[in-house]
Structures are given as structure tokens and as C-alpha cells.
Structure 1
Amino acid sequence: MPFYLEPVWRRWNDEMNIINEKDIDYVEERLNYQVVFLPDAYNHRKYNILAYLKHLKGDHDEALLQLQKAESGIPASSTSEDTDVKRVVMYGNFAWVYYHQNQVDKGFTYAEKVQTILQKYESPAMQKTLLLDIYGEQGWTYMSFTGNYYQRAAECFEKALELDPEDPELNSGYALAVYRMEGFAFLSKPSYKSVPLLERAVQFNPSDTVVKVLLALKYLDLKNYRQATMLIEQALLEQPENPYVLRYVAMFYKRSGNTVKAIEVFKKVDSLTPNTCAIHYQLAKCYKIFIYKHRGLDGQPNGEAISNAMFHSKKAVELNKSSVAAHILLADIYIRANKYQKAEEEFDKTLTMSNLLYEQKQELHLRWAQYLMSSRKSESEAVNHFKEVIEIQNQTIFRESAIRALKSLAETMISQNPKDATGYGLLGFIHQQERRDVTALKNYEKAHLLDPDSEEYSDACAALYATLS
């Protein structure tokens, strides 16, 4: 393929390891809803990405149909210059599809169309216009996929903004990418890097209601309730039927503690975009809040809340089997429903999933450890899972929780039986994982003194002696 097609589909193809057709179906469904509910001005991009998904599935005839829609979807209001740039991307994609269909002549026809347009953009100023659109195209494509690609999306938007810092759509894209990265990081301390970016995006693109509600959520976290509420009210006035606005409005109510209102709005979103994994997941989380909040007269967990939480969490898993978060939530609901065997099966099944991120492994082991402690009263098994969390060095809320829980357990063991080596061994492990080797060695030496036959303690002492010598 000619080198100038490489920045579009070829690069995506090399970088995206999307081999699970269920993942592709999930993204495809979201894009089809976006075609209906998001501004028509961006439909050409959505069709381009839909064409790429069809290419990933090997359906090149359908990919061509989507590209034809993309071409006809270029806004009539676009300038000649903008239209040329958008056609470069589309014609390159056409050439790519025909290349994979072994229709070489048609592929070269579109490649020549690309070349003809590129000849008009040979000057540095004109090349800037071309690069601007290509970087934007890549950024929005990465945003269409999973959280693994948000960092790459942000990098693309950054490059584009270096060329045009005041472009409204690119400012919105960059703010959205950073916002999603913050939500995906599971950091122990919340990050607010996206706040000034969201504020800037609202300034340059006041009609972008989605950006407004995201900024409202950040203001809520910062306890800026007046500004947050004002933005939510504006968004509801501007787009009261837009599911992409309403889902974040529902999140606002949920985080504000108004779970009943959140459920009401999430159900409205579900009526507008049926069978969406994310909405059923959020509904399950809302009903989970009610399980213990509204107990029955006998003091038992709320049966109706359990039933609703179970229904929506199962539905979320059914709609997107690769959603690790949905599987973890379902396991948690099983625990609350006293269905322990099913919970263990769900935990076990989820741990074998191929797409697990380190943060998700940490959360899984943490939830399993908490379950073993509270429901099975099995400290030894729980300890193994707490250790699994801590050994993954990613500094997340899950790792911090595991360290606190294991440290508390160790201190309880020592207070109950000062001659039991186990508590000192656990403290040694924790300090070693936190790179506090001197303190770790002191605790392992105490453990080894109390249990001289333990290979674990003697090996740990030997390793630490070598490190500190």
C-alpha cells in the first residue's frame, strides 16, 4: 500500500489487537446509536469507523457500503478545503478495502484520487490542514474502542491541538480522552487534570452538552455544587432526550446520593438505547445500593433490590461478555444474595479472561479476598488473594485496600498470639512489597525466630540480607 495510507487504517490495524468479535459487535452497536443521537456533522467519521469494524470482521462488501455513507455524510456546509481533507481519509480507506478484496484496479483508482488531492497540499501550510484532520480521525477512532486506547487518543488530540489550539472539536476530544483516562486509572488519589481541559472545551464549544455534564461531574467531586448543578440544568434544557447526556446526568444523581432519581434517568436511557451493557451495569450498581440500605422487617437484605441488581448485572454480562467490570459486579451481587458457589464460579471464570488489565486483576483478587474473609471466614485463602493484589505494583485504590486489610489482619494475629510467626511474616511481606527492606527484614527475622523451619521466612531473610549488604 502507498505510504500515505499508513496513518489511517494500516496503523490502527497494527496497533489494535481486537480479535474478539463480541468486542467489535459492542463497539459497532454504540456507533450505530451515535449515528442516531449525536450531531449529524460527525456522521462521516462514525461511518468510517463502522467501515473499519466491518473490515476487522472480514465483511468488505459491508465496509464499502459504510464508506459510501461516510462520503455522502460529509456536511454540506464544509469548505472545499475541509471536504478535500475528509475525502483523503475516505479514499484511503476505500483503497484499503479494495486492496483486501484483491480488486487492485479499483484500489489504485482511489489511491490516485488521494494522490490528486495531496498534490494540492504540498506546501507546509496546506500539509498542516491535512495532518490536523488525520490526527483528529485517529483520536476519535481510538476513543471509540476500550480504555486501553484512551492514552493514544489523547496523544493524537495533543498533536492536532499543537497545529490548531482553538479548534472546538479537538478541544472536546482531548478533554474527553483525559477525563476517561482518569476514570480508568483507579488511582488512590483522584486526578483532576481534565478539569481545565473540560472548561476550555466548554469555552470553545458551548454547544457540546456532553462535555458540560462531564465537567459537572468533576465539579461535584470538587464539591463545587452550585456550578455542577447549573451545568446539569443547562444540559437538560438543551438536550433532554439525548441518551449520551442523560447517562451522565444519571451518574450525577447517583453520585449526589439521589439513587431513585438516577434509576429513573438510567431507565429512560435504556428506553432510548435498549440493550446497552453500560446502562444495565449502572442500574445494577444503583440497585446494589438498596440491598442493605432498605432491609426488610426481619433485618434481611432487600429481596427486591437483590432481584433487580441480579437481573441488570446478568444482562450487562450477557450484552458484553468481555466486560470485566460487569463480571465482577455479578459476582458481588451473588455474594450479597448468599449464592456463594455461583460467586466463586464467576470469580474463577473472570480470572481466566484473556483481556484482564492489571488493575482488574487487582480488583478481582481484592473482591475475592474480601468475600473469603466475610462469608467463608477463610483467612489463609484470603491472605493469598490479598498478596496477589499487592504483588501487582500498580498504585491503585485496590492495592491500598489490600495493604490496609492485610496489615490489620497481621496486627490482629500478633495481638492475639505474639508467638505466632504468621503475623510478622505478613508484615515482612507488606514492607518488602513497599520497598521498606530494613523494616521487612526485622519482621521476617522475628517470624523466622518463631518458626525456624519455615523456608518462606528463611528465604525472605536471605534475599533481604543480599539486597542490603
Structure 2
Amino acid sequence: MDANKVDILKNSLMDRLLKLQCHFTWNLLGEDVDIENVEERLNDQIEFLPDALKHRMYNLLAYLKHLKGDHEEGILQLQKAEAHTQQSSIEEDTDHKKTVLYGNFAWVFYHQNQLNKSLTYVEKVETILKQYEVPPKKNTLLSDIYGEQGWTYLSFAGKYYQCAVMCFEKALELDPEDPELNSGYAMAVYRIEGFRLSKNTENKSFPLLERAVRLNPRDTVLKVLLALKYLEMKAYDQGAILIEQALQEQPESPYVLRYVATFYRRRKQIYKAIEILKKVLRLTPTSSNVYYQLGQCYKQFIKIHYNTQQKEEAIANAIFYSEKAVELNKSSVPAHILLASVYMKANEHQKAKEEFDKTLTMNDIWPEQKQELHFYWAKYLIHSRNSESEAVRHFNEVIKIQNQTWFREIAMKELQKLLN
């Protein structure tokens, strides 16, 4: 085939590829994540989460391999996803579940310049779409695609959580009783509330988690998330009951244990939280999240230890685990905020300043997180550097951001005291 014909074929094929619903058309940007960290997370999920969910993880792994330019490995991941999809198709019609998968195949073969193979997969998708043109089949297809997209955004980065919420909402309009879609929606809203830090955050995730637990009675991760919500509402007994249930049902699941540790840390049972987190670390030794949580625990120890040696040990541990969390996931804004705050506690001014400046310019930072950073930096400048004029400037930065958080409210009071 001469060069002109190849160019015409490529252009025509690209027009059809862009119409596909798959990871390659969902605007997932590599610069928004630490790719190695996301791969580690997905591999842990493949090892520890139920088989029924693995096709989703293999699909995203294939896209991450594409971002790294490793298309051969991308094909291998898609073949694993296909094998899992075919296993479930023995019991039910799952053609609609293959649209995203075949779309990914088409894109990877296109990037390998295997245009005929790419065209074959484009045609497979188009054939499925024709079979599902009319409701209720169309609703089944669309709810599955929106669900896959929602879970992908939820697995990718915090910046995409709002997109995940929108996808799950669209999917649930078509299939409101689907347990997995309700689960994804509740988790997405829960995570956004965790980021928002707002003073008057509307507690939307609580009824969603209650509903998701009712529809997914065996999902222990949902139970521990609901337990954490009970804890926020000071309903300690209800939370503790769910924690005990989860530990009885899945005592070795790192995903359950991580949230259980959060429950104990927030109840100020720091030693218990550390014991659990170290157990999780043995199961998932490259988990940035576990190192982050351990860093939080030791940071809390700094506040409660008055013995100089114990305080120094707590600072050293807090720095070690926080630095490791950042090393394992360079795109994690919470880990960078934690590290900056720990350096402040250790009075390592230059390191704290470098971490503060770096974090403020990160792609994935939320307005509330900027408030948190400026607030901690202002407090540090007052108490450790005697720089009240600089502190005023940073309190003003907190207040400029209009989001109504605790940080903004306290910054206004602190600023008034300084000005007086």
C-alpha cells in the first residue's frame, strides 16, 4: 500500500477511534499521576480484591502501559481483561461489557501501527453498538460504560473524583438498583468529602453508603467507610459494630485494615492503628497510602509526647514514613502536605519551605488543600520563626480562597489577633 493510501486509512480510522468510549477517549492525562504508583495500586488490587473486578484493573493497566510507550505489555493486559470477561460470559450475556475492552484494543493496535487489527476491533465495537441500539438493551450498555468510566476516574487520581461522581450518576439513572454502581457512587462522594475539609460539608455520602451497604452486604470496605462516617457523627457504638463485623469477615484484607486503622487513629488509639498499619505494610510493602497513614500516626505522637527522647523518636518516624509516602507517590498532594507539616514540626525550615512551595504548584491540588498549606505555614512562621508579617500574608492567602473551611474560619480569627 502506498504512503497516500496509508495516510487516508489512518485518518479515516482515527475518526472512528475518537468515537469509541474507552480509556483512550476519557482524557486521562499522564502528568496528573505518578504512573508507577497507580500500577502498584492496581497490582495490589488484582491480588487482594475479588476476581469479578479484575477486568477493570487490567483495562486501566493497559492504558498506563500505553502512557509509558509499552504497547506490547498493553496488549498482554488487555488479553488478561478479555480472559476474565469471557469467564463471566459463560453464565450471562456480556457483549456490552466488551465495548470498552475492544475500544482499548483498537487504540493500542493503532499505536503499534497495526492498522488492520485496529480496524477489526473498531468494527467489533460498532457491531455491538448496533445490537444495543434500542432500549432496554441500550440502557444496559450505557450504564455499563458509564460505570466503567466512573471506576476508572476513581482509580486514577483525586482530580478526577468529580468526573467519577458524574459518571455514576448517569449510570444510576439507567440502572438505579445496581449494587456495584451504588458502591462506586458512594465511594466517589465519600472521597470528595474527605478532600473538601469544609466546615459545613453536606454529609451526602452517609445515606449513599447506607444504601450501598444494604445492596452489597458482603462488601466489607463499604462497611468500614460507613463506620468512619458514624465516627464523624459521634455515633461511636454503631461505628465500632461495623468495624468488628468487617474484621471478622475479612481479617487479612489490606483494604479493610487500612480503613480500620484510620478509625482507630481518629479515635486517638494510635498504638492500635500503628500495629494494624504495620501488618498491612507486610501485605502491601509499596503502598504509599500505608506509609502516609503511619506518618499521620507519628505526627500525632509528636503532640502527645513531652519526654524529649520520645518526641525526637516520633519526629524521626514521622519524617521517615512521610518521605517514603511521597517517594512512592510523587503526585499525592496529601502526602506532600503531611511531609511539609512534619518538617515544620521538626523545625527543618529549608526542607519545609521547599516542600511548601513545591506542593502549592502541583496539578492535583484542591483549593481547600491550598488553604490548609497556607494556614499551617502561617502558624509555623508565628511560633517557630517569629515572622508575624509573613504570617499575615499567608493567613490572607487562606482567606482569599472563598471555600468555607475550618482553616478559613480560624485564619480570620488569627489574622484579627495579629492585626490588633
Normalising by the residue count of structure 2, what TM-score does the alignment of the two structures yield? 0.92
Unaligned runs of 5+ in 2: 1-13
Is the contact made by 2:381 and 2:388 (CA closer than 8 Å) also made in structure 1?
yes
| 1:257-406 pair list within 5 angstroms | 257-296=268-307, 302-406=311-415
| 1:409-424 pair list within 5 angstroms | 409-410=418-419, 413=420
Partner of 2:25: 11
Partner of 1:106: 117
Give the total of aligned pairs.
406
CA offsets 1:274-317 (integer angstroms, 9 cap, x no match)? 12111111101111111131221xx6761211111111111112
Partner of 2:37: 26
In the TM superposition, residue 402 of structure 1 has moved relative to its aligned partner by: 1.5
Task: Give the aligned residue type for 2:328.
Answer: L
Is the contact made by 1:142 and 1:152 (CA closer than 8 Å) also made in structure 2?
yes
Partner of 1:135: 146
Partner of 1:439: none
CA offsets 1:373-404 (integer angstroms, 9 cap, x no match)? 00111111111111112112222222222112
**RMSD of aligned C-alpha atoms?**
1.9
Whole-angstrom CA distance in 2 between matches of 1:379 and 1:266: 39
Is the contact made by 2:22 and 2:101 (CA closer than 8 Å) also made in structure 1?
no
Whole-angstrom CA distance in 2 between matches of 1:137 and 1:364: 34
In the TM superposition, residue 354 of structure 1 has moved relative to its aligned partner by: 4.5
Is the contact made by 1:43 and 1:74 (CA closer than 8 Å) also made in structure 2?
no
Is the contact made by 1:41 and 1:75 (CA closer than 8 Å) also made in structure 2?
no
| 1:66-465 pair list within 5 angstroms | 66-74=77-85, 76-78=87-89, 82-296=93-307, 302-410=311-419, 413=420
1:345 match: secondary structure = helix
Whole-angstrom CA distance in 2 between matches of 1:325 and 1:349: 13
Whole-angstrom CA distance in 2 between matches of 1:116 and 1:4: 16
When Rg is computed on C-alpha atoms for both structures, the one with the higher figure is 1
Detail structure 1 runs of 4+ shifted over 6 Å in the superposition.
none
Whole-angstrom CA distance in 1 between matches of 2:93 and 2:65: 26
Is the contact made by 2:17 and 2:106 (CA closer than 8 Å) also made in structure 1?
no
In the TM superposition, residue 358 of structure 1 has moved relative to its aligned partner by: 2.3
Structure 1 residue corresponding to 2:60, chosen from 42, 49, 64: 49
Amino-acid identity (%): 64
Whole-angstrom CA distance in 2 between matches of 1:61 and 1:127: 33
Whole-angstrom CA distance in 1 between matches of 2:185 and 2:93: 20
Normalising by the residue count of structure 1, what TM-score does the alignment of the two structures yield? 0.82
Partner of 2:6: none
1:32 match: secondary structure = helix
Whole-angstrom CA distance in 1 between matches of 2:310 and 2:345: 8
